[in-house]
Structure 1
Amino acid sequence: MHNIIHIDAKWFYMIKKSQTYYLAIGEEPPYRTCKNKNDVSKVMFLVTVARPRFDTQGNEIFFEKIGLFSFVTKEAARRRSANRGRGTMETKPITSITKEVMKSFLINKMLPEIKAKWPTSHASETIYVQQDNAPCHIHDSDVDFHMAASNDGFDIRLISQPPNSPDLNILDLGYFKAIQVLQHHEAPKTIDDLVKLVEKSF
């Protein structure tokens, strides 16, 4: 099937537990701290990609990168600290990714991006969104997803990846690896910094 959109989710960590550096003579090694090396801040991202499309003249009419969505929320700080005042909006990672959270992101974030970027000349074709079999992913026949996906004249269907299929390796071995390498070139100190760096790398 040509009209397949691949989606996958991945955790991105603020820092690695260990990292190799090549230092010049006399250069001080970089120093970073965290509360506990087993409790490094992390954010999950949902990536949506597909094959690019071209018209008869070879012009690209559809770019393969559809979207990158971070699982974060904005919350008001309950207490005052030395770095910010009480009530300041803070970015907090969603650490528990449930089926309801995933459904919300698929319907409210992913579907609008697909509909906005999919070429209008192919809008009447059936589009398949392929997910892996992670526990947090919703069922292929989810009613709420089907209703949202069938709006605006689109026919978008959710399908699951076959067992032991290499279909999503392009994300694990390609996009995710490349994004993480680029992201670790810099040193984010906050969740906002991490989100910006991953989006920039994408």
Structure 2
Amino acid sequence: MSTALGMAKLTLHRRVKEGVIRAHSNAIKLELTAENMKSRLRFYLSMIDPGTISTYPMFMDMYNHIHIDEKWFMTKTSEKFYLLQEEIDPLCTYKSKKLITEIMFMAAVAHPRYGGSNNEEFSGKIGIFPFIYKELAKGNSKNREARTLETKPITSVTKEIIRACLIKNVQSVIRATWPKSNSRKQIFIQQDNVKPHIQADDAEFLEAASKDGFDI
């Protein structure tokens, strides 16, 4: 059998081993415009600690930065597992392969903190929050009675839903778990540029972000 190069596979493999040719995987990369590159460079430079510019420029430690991102999770029709010999094969069932539930989560993490003797003071794990809502079942079925509280996924995540998650979930956990030594310093939540994300001057977010002496 020959390859796209018109060469037998055994010959191709031999040429690779001999170092005559080499294998290369070429993944598609985003093409950046000149303005894209300038924007990235401006962001990198904004992360330099102003107090070090005149001597030995260093990046900020980013202890007061929280990074968030969203991800869809769904059950695959086929999944590969690696098990110990004594482990039982996992069983995953669903009523229909065509109607598999998809749920989006928001994850928020920050830089962990360690004190004396390398003791962990703050894990940096703000949380993983699902975009779901609860609704009373309208009628009886074989699975549940009417007016049973059901948990359902939010299938369209809008800017209002993102804002509510940031205020009710992310901000609440920050106020409850953030290291006391840094609670009076300004805290930044870093987003990417997807459309549902809120603006930095969002009035409702900023009003909630200033509670309990915090400045998020």
CA contact (8 A) 2:94 2:100 kept: no
How many angstroms apart in 2 are the aligned matches of 1:60 and 1:32?
40
How many angstroms apart in 2 are the aligned matches of 1:109 and 1:21?
33
Report the RMSD for the aligned CA atoms in angstroms. 2.4
Over 3 Å counting, the alpha-carbon distance change for 1:89 and 1:152 in structure 2 is same
Match of 2:175 among 115, 129, 136: 115
Post-superposition shift, 1:55? 2.3
Over 3 Å counting, the alpha-carbon distance change for 1:32 and 1:150 in structure 2 is same
Over 3 Å counting, the alpha-carbon distance change for 1:151 and 1:17 in structure 2 is same
Post-superposition shift, 1:64? 1.4
Partner of 2:126: 66
Matched, 1:127 2:187: yes
Matched, 1:139 2:199: yes
Over 3 Å counting, the alpha-carbon distance change for 1:116 and 1:29 in structure 2 is closer
Partner of 2:67: 6
How many angstroms apart in 1 are the aligned matches of 2:207 and 2:82?
54
Residue aligned with 2:118, SS: coil
Post-superposition shift, 1:122? 1.0
Give the structure-2-normalised TM-score. Answer: 0.64
Residue aligned with 2:135, SS: strand
Please tell me the residue identity of whatever aligns with 1:82. K
CA contact (8 A) 2:68 2:107 kept: yes
Partner of 1:173: none
Partner of 1:184: none
More contact order relative to length (CA 8 Å, sep ≥ 6): 1
Over 3 Å counting, the alpha-carbon distance change for 1:36 and 1:144 in structure 2 is same
How many angstroms apart in 1 are the aligned matches of 2:97 and 2:123?
41
Aligned length: 152
Q: Compare the two structures and name the one with the higher strand fraction.
A: 1
Residue aligned with 2:105, SS: strand
Match of 2:210 among 133, 150, 155: 150
Superposed, 1:12-91 pairs within 5 Å as 12-13=73-74, 15-20=75-80, 32-37=93-98, 39-91=99-151
Identity of aligned residues (%): 46
CA contact (8 A) 2:135 2:150 kept: yes
